[in-house]
Amino acid sequence: MIKVLHNNVCSKSRSILEHLDENNVAFEIIDFVENPLTAMELKTVLKKLHMPASEVVRKNEPLYKEKFASQELSEDEWIAVLLENPSLIQRPILIKGEIAMIGRPIENVKFFIDN
């Protein structure tokens, strides 16, 4: 089963759920805004993505531009920022076993669920 880190206000995240549903792919929704991740959960996701925290930050968000764009933060500091501001986390993130991906573009999602 695929776990989907989801933010319901995100149209791309909703469209991925729709795609999974239309293709009869079993998935579990984890709304990380309503039910924030713990530090350990976030670190586990980052490890599965093979990315540092700074690479999953939504850099087009006004909050990022206003507060964080000019800062040089460590990995632990970025993790703290993401835990305090889950809306800054790229979405959706799909997790299958020990691997994960940011769910864009849709072609990558199709490859991910088929393999």
User: How many alpha carbons lie under 13 Å from residue 66 in its C-beta half-sphere?
Assistant: 4
pLDDT digits (tens, 9 = 90+) for 29-85: 999 999 999 999 999 999 999 999 999 999 999 999 999 999 999 999 999 999 999
Does the annotation count 58 as an active-site position?
no
Whole-angstrom distance, CA of residue 110 vs CA of residue 104: 10
Question: Backbone dihedral region of 89: left (phi > 0), alpha (psi from -120 to 50 degrees) or beta?
Answer: beta
Q: 2-114 belongs to which homologous superfamily?
A: Glutaredoxin (3.40.30.10)
pLDDT of 95: 97
Catalytic: which of 10, 17, 51, 73? 10
pLDDT in the model for residue 25: 94
- CA 106 to chain centroid, in Å, comes to 15
User: Is the pLDDT reported for residue 115 higher than 80?
Assistant: no
The H or E element spanning position 68 is: none
